[in-house]
């Protein structure tokens, strides 16, 4: 009887232990399942929101477009309105316009590629630069404004080249570097600081961004190629290689 009693007690204890662990595992599974459902709901909501969010920073667009009307599709560029261009748009056959984001890692590489390719098309293609700061790069708008402020002192390309050179990209450039770079370029620091802090050039950045979207940009880098009349011949999405750019340039030059 003593042995039988002990055996019965042991089995009862074992059964309770199994029931406990089964309940625990079931509870964890239920909680994990609910967490997954919540995650999927939030993820889907964010995905839908992202699809309806313009690629360019909202505050940049809205500063130029107060009524938040959608940007207009464009097929022609006023070449004489280009502020930052290398080459003479009135004498070259084509003009290449680069829309870029100073915190975009792909733009950083693409900018160098474009500069190298441009050396082979002097007097044939003019090369212009405009801004398209994305909303995923919170520092890009301020950096674009700073570049335009440097442009007011005739150092736009020098400033852009330097920022692309030193930025780690993806919002990792320290804000102080904007002013250190201006100092290195011997800019009037009082004027530069006031321009940046007051966002005096924001309207230019905003206009560039709207133009980029109007020409079909959804991300960076984005570029367009236009003829002598400013008509858009083609668009370039993404960071093309030197070979791809050369092939496209040669093709369109042959048609002019």
Phi, psi of 99, deg, nearest 5 = -105, 120
> Does 10 score more than 50 pLDDT?
no
Peptide bond into 221 cis (omega under 30): yes
- Residue pair 232/225 in contact by the 8 Å Cβ criterion: yes
How would residue 5 be classed by pLDDT, with cut points 50, 70 and 90?
very low
pLDDT tens-place string over residues 16-54: 655 555 566 666 766 766 666 555 555 444 433 333 334
Q: Which residues contact 170 (CB under 8 A, 6 or more apart)?
A: 103, 105, 137
pTM equals 0.74
The whole-chain average pLDDT of the chain stands at 83
How would residue 200 be classed by pLDDT, with cut points 50, 70 and 90?
very high
pLDDT at 72: 80
Among 5-9, 57-61, 122-126, 132-136, which is the least confidently predicted range?
5-9
pLDDT tens-place string over residues 81-124: 999 999 999 999 999 999 999 999 999 999 999 999 999 999 99
d(CA 26, CA 30): 6
Q: Following DSSP, what letter does each residue of the chain receive, concatenated?
A: -HHHHHHHHHHHHHHHHHHHHHHHHHHHHHHHHHHHHHHHHHHHHHHHHHHTS-SB-HHHHHHH-TT-PPPPP-SB--GGG-SSEES-TTTSSEEEEEEE-TT-HHHHHHHHHHHHHHGGGTTTEEEEEEE--BTT-TTHHHHHHHHHHHHTTT-HHHHHHHHHHH--SSS-S-THHHHHHHHHTT--HHHHHHHHHTTTTHHHHHHHHHHHHHTT-SSSSEEEEE-TT-BEEEEEES---HHHHHHHHHHHHHH-
Percentage of the chain modeled with pLDDT above 70: 73
Handedness of CA 155, 147, 205, 211 (dihedral sign): positive
> Does 3 score more than 60 pLDDT?
no
- Residue pair 108/167 in contact by the 8 Å Cβ criterion: yes
d(CA 251, CA 247): 6
Using alpha carbons, list the distances in angstroms from residue 62 to 59, 74, 133, 162.
5, 19, 13, 29
């Amino acid at each position: 009887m003593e042995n039988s009693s002990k055996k019965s007690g042991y089995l009862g204890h074992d059964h309770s232990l199994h029931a406990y662990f089964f309940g625990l595992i079931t509870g964890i599974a239920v909680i994990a399942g609910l967490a997954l459902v919540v995650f999927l709901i939030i993820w889907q909501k964010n995905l839908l929101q992202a699809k309806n969010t313009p690629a360019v920073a909202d505050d940049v667009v809205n500063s130029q477009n107060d009524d938040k009307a959608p940007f207009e599709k464009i097929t022609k560029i006023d070449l004489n309105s280009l502020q930052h261009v290398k080459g003479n748009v009135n004498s070259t056959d084509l003009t290449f316009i680069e829309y870029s984001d100073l915190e975009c890692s792909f733009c950083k590489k693409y900018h160098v590629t474009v500069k190298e390719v441009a050396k082979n098309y002097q007097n044939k293609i003019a090369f212009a630069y405009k801004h398209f700061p994305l909303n995923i790069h919170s520092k890009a708008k301020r950096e674009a404004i700073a570049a335009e402020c440097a442009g007011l002192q005739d150092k736009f390309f020098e400033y852009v080249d330097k920022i692309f050179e030193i930025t780690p990209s993806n919002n990792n450039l320290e804000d102080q570097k904007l002013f250190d770079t201006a100092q290195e370029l011997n800019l009037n620091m009082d004027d530069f600081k006031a321009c940046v802090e007051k966002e005096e050039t924001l309207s230019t950045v905003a206009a560039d961004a709207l133009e980029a979207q109007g020409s079909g940009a959804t991300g960076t880098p984005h570029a367009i190629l236009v003829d002598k009349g400013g008509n858009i011949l083609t668009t370039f999405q993404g960071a093309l290689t030197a070979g791809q750019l050369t092939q496209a340039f040669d093709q369109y030059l042959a048609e002019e």
